[in-house]
Structure formats: structure tokens, C-alpha cells
Amino acid sequence: MVNTTEPEEVIPEVSEEIPKPPLVVTALPDFFKTLLSDGYTKLSDSPEVRMAVDCIADLVSNMTIQLMQNGETGDKRIKNDLSRVVDIEPNKYLSRKTFIQWLVRSMLLEGNGNAVVKPQVVGDKIIGLTPISPYKVTFNVSDDDLDYSITIDNKEYDPSTLLHFVLNPSIERPFIGTGYKVALKDIVGNLKQASVTKKGFMASEYMPNLIVSVDSDSDELSDEEGRENFEEMYLKRKEAGKPWIIPEGMVNVQQIKPLTLNDLAINDAVTLDKKTVAGIFGVPAFLLGVGAYNKDEFNNFINTKIMSIAQVIQQTYNKLIVEEDMYFSLNPRSLYNYSLTEMVSAGAQMAQLNALRRNEFRNWVGMPPDAEMDDLLVLENFLQQKDLVNQKKLIQDET
């Protein structure tokens, strides 16, 4: 009898390992939302822009405004009612420093290259200067771009009756300033984004430096209380620095390195943007916190940018003067970075050459005048050219 039953096919057992899910690092959408900057940023809201503008305004407002008069032997300073209004008391509410700070800031920021001041006139005498808010000023330009008027609170004025300070004149309309708004728009946006990103990273709760994998019932760790109980039981010691003692195979601890600001090159980008802001305003980068202080660079900043704005102010102030031989001048000498040794050395040399009285020299270094220092002292061998032949040492004895 033949067994027709086919033998059962033996299927070898294949042990298939269930692939482990890959380790995926995710960030919640809300986290990225906190790292994004939205909305318009005013120039005055940017810390870097404010630092540059405040520095310029502070230095310009420290300069004395002198009323000068031309003379045959040199220009001399004049002190009268007009010079007092301009240099000491522009109006009953503001000092010169406060007034000039407002003036410079208006030109650099809110006024977009313009600042308007209304003189207070009684009879033929100027008794004060009233600053006009940039938000109240409108410039009305003629169709041919050759003439304009100024509207303040819906009242139209001829520019000749006002003081209109202009910075960075427009190419098409040179009597109106342009400011720095367009040039700084993208840079200010970048700086704000960097600040928001930095703040988001510092405050983020999604960047732990340890991940603890626990071989335990998921229900026990499903709520915050369960996780805190496990942490208190195994991951905390009474004294800092002691090792954790954990049952073998129960806990797997992994250390991770979160993404840092250095990984995103935030600091490098901020440094570059700060240098750009400094370059646009013409201020040394170290005044914005980039690089080290440099004395020569600071003095060059006074000679260039500060004096450029001072020229705008003093030339506009000249419209207040009736006399043709007078003009206003802003004195920058006190702004330069002198050491006391350099001032004493320069003053001593000028006093020896009879080019400076000793009391003037004392004023340089902040000392009060001394009645005994009014006399001019000259070395005996400093003679006029015509008297050189009268020196006894040149007279030969003929006998």
C-alpha cells in the first residue's frame, strides 16, 4: 500500500527583526513662530540705530555756538541777544543742548533728513526758537520741482520765514532731505530678526541637554506627576555632584547637543549688520560695541561726520543774521580726545611763542584765571627781524 500523502513542507523559521524607528528630532511649529519677526520696525526702535544717533546728537549738542564777526586781524566772537538765544536759551523750555539734540535726532530719524524750526519774532528782534514736530510738517513742492512751501498744522508758510535744516539732500529736490530710512530698512529688519531669534533660543523649553529613556509602564509616565516621581526617585541626590545609582537596564541616558546661536552664525551676522549701520551713519563701529576703541578713529569721526552736521546747523542759523560780516560757528575743540599731557604740552609751546596768554592756557585745562598770569612772557632771544642786527654779540669792536 502506497502512502500517497505528500510530506508537509517544512518552512524554515525566519527571525525578522522589527526595524527600530529612526531617531527624529522635531520642533513644534509654535517654537518656530517665536523665532520669526513680523511687523514693521521703526528706525527709532532699533537699539543699534539709536546708539549711533544718540552718540552723534550728544556730541553735536556739546559744541558751543559762537557768533563771529570778520575783522582785519582775524574774526572775533560777538555776544549779544541773538547769540544768547542760539547758544544759551533757544526758548524758555529748552537749553541749547536739549534743543540741538532734538534737532539732530529729527534730521537723522523722524524727520527723514529734515528739521523745521519757527523763529519767535517781536518787532525786529528774535526772542526764541520753536521746534516743530516732524509729524506736523508737510512739504509742498511745485510741479517743476523748483519751488516749495511748508505746511504746519494746515497752515502754509514760506520757507524764508522758517529755519529748514536739510540733511542728505534729494537729487531731484535738493531743498528737501532724504535721511537714512531706505538704506537702513533691510539692516534694521535683520537686527530685529536676530534679536527675536536669540530671545527665542534663550527662552525655549524644547532644548534639553539630557534625554532619559525609561523601561517602565507608559501609564506611569503619562502625566507630569509620574515623571516628577521618577525624577525624585532616581535622578536627584541630596548633594550636587554625586552619581546617579540606577538599576541596570532600567534607564538609558543620552546626552545631546542642542542647536546653538553659534551654529546659526547669529553673532557673525549681527556684527556685520552693526558695522553696516555704523558705516551708514559714519560713526566708528566701536561705538556700537564692535571692536576696540581707537583714539585716532574717534578724532577723525569728529573732523568728518560731526563737523559735517555742524556745518548744516551753523549755515542754516546764518539766515537769522542781518549783518553781512557775521556768521555762526560751532566750536569742536572740546570734543577731541586730548590727554592732559598733550594739552599742557601744546599750551606751553604756544605760551612760549607769545601766541597764547597763560590765563587762556589755564582755561584749557579747566583752571580759573589768575591775575598774575596776564602778563606776556617772552624769551630774550625772540626778537623782531628788524632788531636782529642790533644784538650786541654782532657788534664788533673796531679798536
The pLDDT tens digits for 28-46 are 444 444 444 455 567 777 8
- State which amino acid sits at residue 140: N
> What's the pLDDT band for 198 if we cut at 50, 70, 90?
low
Greater confidence, 209 or 148? 148
Q: What is the predicted pLDDT for the residue at 162?
A: 96
Q: Is the model's pLDDT at 276 over the cut of 80?
A: yes
Q: Is the model's pLDDT at 23 over the cut of 50?
A: no
pTM: 0.71
The pLDDT tens digits for 152-176 are 999 999 999 999 999 999 999 999 9
The span from the CA of 326 to the CA of 83, in Å, is 11
HEC sequence for the chain: CCCCCCCCCCCCCCCCCCCCCCCCCCCCHHHHHHCCCCCCCCHHHCHHHHHHHHHHHHHHHCCEEEEEECCCCCCEEECCHHHHHHHCCCECCECHHHHHHHHHHHHHCCCCCEEEEEEEEECCEEEEEEEECHHHEEEEECCCCCCEEEEECCEEECHHHCEEEECCECCCCCCCECCCHHHHHHHHHHHHHHHHHHHHHHHCCCCCCEEEEECCCHHHHCCHHHHHHHHHHHHCCCCCCCCCCCCCCCEEEEECCCCCCCCCCHHHHHHHHHHHHHHHHCCCHHHHCCCCCCHHHHHHHHHHHHHHHHHHHHHHHHHHCCCCCEEEEEECHHHCCCCHHHHHHHHHHHHHCCCCCHHHHHHHCCCCCCHHHCCCCCCCCCCCHHHHHHCHHHCCCCC
The span from the CA of 368 to the CA of 116, in Å, is 39
The span from the CA of 44 to the CA of 50, in Å, is 6
CA distances from 307 to 15, 166, 332 (A): 85, 15, 8
Query: Per-residue pLDDT averaged across 12-38, rounded?
Result: 46
The span from the CA of 58 to the CA of 358, in Å, is 31
The span from the CA of 175 to the CA of 114, in Å, is 10
